[in-house]
Structure 1
Amino acid sequence: MATSTDSQIDLTTCSICLETFKTPKNFPCLHSFCEGCLQTYITTSFGQTKGGVNCPVCRMFVSKPDDISIEEWAKNLPTNYILVSLIDLNETKSGQKLCAECARENESENACSWCVNCAEALCKSCYRSHRRNKTSSDHKLVELDKGLDRDIPLYHADVFCSEHTEEKVKVYCEDHSAICCMTCVMLNHRKCDHVRSIEDAASKLKKSKQTEEFSQNLQDLKICLTRLCKNRTISLQTLDLDLKQIRDDIDSLFKGLSCHLTKMKRNIMSEISDVEKEITSEIENEHFEIKCKIPAVENDLSLFQTSMKHAPPAQFIQAMEKLEEQKKLLENFVRDQSKTLRDIRVTFKANEKLMEISKIIQEFGEVNITRNTNYELQHSINRKLKIMTSMPTLTSKVDTGFHVTGIAFLENGQVVLSNHNSKKIELLEPRSSTILSSLSLPSFPWGIKIMRATEGSVAVEGKGLTFFNIQRDRILKVTEMKTEVNRDFVHHRGQFYIGCNRKIIVYDKLLRKVREITVNCDVGYMAVRDENTMCFTCESRGRELCCITMDGIPVFTYSQDKLQGTRGVTVDHTGYIYACGLNSRNVHQLSHNGKLQRIVYDNLPTGPYCIHFNTQGDKAVIGCEGKILLYDLE
């Protein structure tokens, strides 16, 4: 068996044997396999799933026809003649093809031309005979050294009417979206206004915006599926970190306890292992199912592009209908996955009595599994993947009378903000411009981060972080963490990265100091850029935005004359970075690698301190000197 050396989709290679197709057969999902490979796969796989088999590529379930035996199933599947012709054409281009007519007489002659109608290669002698023969005199013949690099149809097969089986289809009725023979036109389409020849209809379809959008939809589907795969990969990594942390906590707690605890430790470790197997298996199955769809999209895209270039009109229209059905199935799958996938976290809650009276303890603790909907993932899948290309619409302006130095959306649309003047954080209902609740702080508040649905933290100047929870429109203080802090922090994969003067201090989820990252400026506002990097504004230099890895390795630095007094920074769902210019009164939109795309908010009424997007990605809020600006995004 051959080995796969190229990740790019090759329509002529069977994904089972990795060899060039031998009699390619189609499954309903449009994936093709050698007839022999498919028959072997069906024979060995049938019975594992009731009444059919799963496609080896995309895992789509294919039911076995009732009137066909398992042994005859592959043979009775439709042959992919486009692939047959493509293989012949490739062999012909490479000079490996012999004349098909001579081969039937057990003779070997090198081919010099290609008959589009017969989908066969011909030698010089047979080429002349083909021209002279009455039945083939009107066939389209292409000389190999002249025409094969052009976009010619691979195979010109006649398509016959489904109602009048002896008549060829010749026209396409746009009113009924149907290909028809001339008898159908006379009987059923006389009053239709838009009846075209097959050639004109196919040409119009190829040039239409529909094909552009279809191609883009398939590429967007691939992006979405890749995101879903990445989400599952991250979940596995997070699970591994969670379990490692739990085991460390258990080992630390276990030290110093008597042998009476050995049995309980064994029990809890066994429970963790069971959880690990259960969740790992669940995530891996989801990951595998999603990953299998990527080749499906790549196959559809390749088949679409090949059909656009080479398929004759009737086959092209039929292929588009099938591809459209397949695209809808993939779209439904992507939407379903984005709704049903859950971000899984595993936590360990130690038995409080364990530290007090070991004699009465009957259990070591409990392992909890939480499944949280990833709204950012879901909304990034469901909304169109497009960047902000024009000035957003200002929908509301709230005059606060104080400097808003930190701001964040909640999932319900409410906004939590830092009131710098009164040393409070406030809960705002933006639709009515009403302050619902306040929480007093010991010093000036700055950056705010929402870590879970209603749980967040705020950077308090000279004091550290204050953690809060919002219940029934009330802000409740939970705890404090004393640490150095300038303006902001980020929370990433269970760790806190605190911005300070010329360094970033890292704490774990138990608020224990882990390490320090040295940087070359005083850190201002901060944001997570992606899984491995973060951005921060340079407080000491005034017009710079820096990006580093989570280990402190520089990635890029952005500086621009039109960005003065850098303050707030955030990243939207598509990976674009936004930096506030307090003195320049604008917001710069940067690409993922730190290149200016556009100034999306310019000439603001007052200088912006902070910016944040809601989880749906359709609203933005900017905190300014004395004002809050709310925008609707396209």
Structure 2
Amino acid sequence: MAERSDQSSIQDGSDADIAFTCTPCNELGSREEAVKYCPECDEYLCTTCTKYHLKMKATRDHKLADREEGKHESNAAKATARIKCQQHPDRDIEMYCGTHDMVYCLMCIATEHRACSDVTNLTDAAGLKFQQNEIMRMQEESKSIKELLEDTEKKKQENVTLVEEKRNKIQIRIQEIEESMIKHIKSLSKQASGNLNDSYSKIRAELDSDIAMVNNRISEVEKVKEQLQSTTEENPEYLFVQIKICQQIINDAKNVHAKLKLGGQTSIDFAENTKVSGHFQEVESFGRINEACKNLKRGIMRQKEIKVRLQNDEKTCRIIDMCQTDSGECILADRYNRKLKLMDIDQNITEFFDLGVPLTGIWKTGNKALAVKLDSNRIELLSLSTRISRVRSIFLKRGGGYIGIACADEKFYVSAGEEIVLYDTKGNL
């Protein structure tokens, strides 16, 4: 804004009375005496700034007034100040378009509203009656919209409370799932440890019994050896009996040795149930957090038939199977059009994959993996990572033409009419 100064200032040690200071120079920290005033810019100008003001393209058409007229011109400019156009910042808003009920600059009218019939200047458009009626209407409208906004704010606050309650309930459920899983895992661990200790105790008892029996036989053999070495008996009958008893002890020791040697080494092992760790690692979450927005329009849409036919579909759709991804999208198997179709949560088909052969079943084998059974005795393994793409094929000996497929424990269960045939992931029957 222009600045006028009627106060004395000191320059170079002497008093210098500058009645009007140059606005641009003053903003740069220098006090120069103004000689002109620009009503359009509302600025006082010194001799140098006046010269450049008349040279610059943006200001060369401005009509400058004497500095003494600046105060009067400034007040007049404020009284008749106009708002700049948002699309053309260098132009004032000067016209009103009744067709679009909005004000514009002359450039907007000339370029975008030439076909509009109800175009007038601001003076005619801003009549007293119009202003009074418009003020009353806007007062009523502002009151009404204020009440609506307050009601909306109240409902949003209630919604905040509801969401917090839902979050707390879900958090409690998550904690319950965690505790239940931990409890079950601890139960399985306790059971496995108990089975391990039972097996260990049984085997240890058998080994201890064998060791005791071996030690007993060793003692008996030692006694036989000592008896044979120290015998002086000359009675043939007594000696005969003693030899036979010793022979029996030695034979028993040999039998024990042979039996224990034949039995081999006893061991203990652990056959892990891979389903526990395998399935646990495949689980990526306790569940999915759904953000739902209940409104009348979406409620009605859910009750209507969902159209899944594409423009390039040659035949009527026949959806023979479907499954849902972890993100909530649905995968549809269109048998007649030989396509796999991906439908988002708003029930719109966003992508399709043409398999070229009628489909007979689909099964989600992982978070981003899918198995599709075809009429050509083939299972196509597809990836859903970014776009639907083929990974590899599994060729079937039979069962391809019948509807139905499932996958579990790295095996494919394929319908084959009156029976179910199993294939591994390599295609072996």
TM-score band by shorter chain is 0.3 to 0.5
- Report the structure number with the largest CA radius of gyration: 2
Which is strand-richer, 1 or 2? 1
TM-score, structure 2 normalization: 0.35
Q: What is the TM-score with the length of structure 1 in the denominator?
A: 0.25
Higher RCO structure (Cα 8 Å, ≥6 apart): 1
Relative to its length, the structure with more helix (as a share) is 2
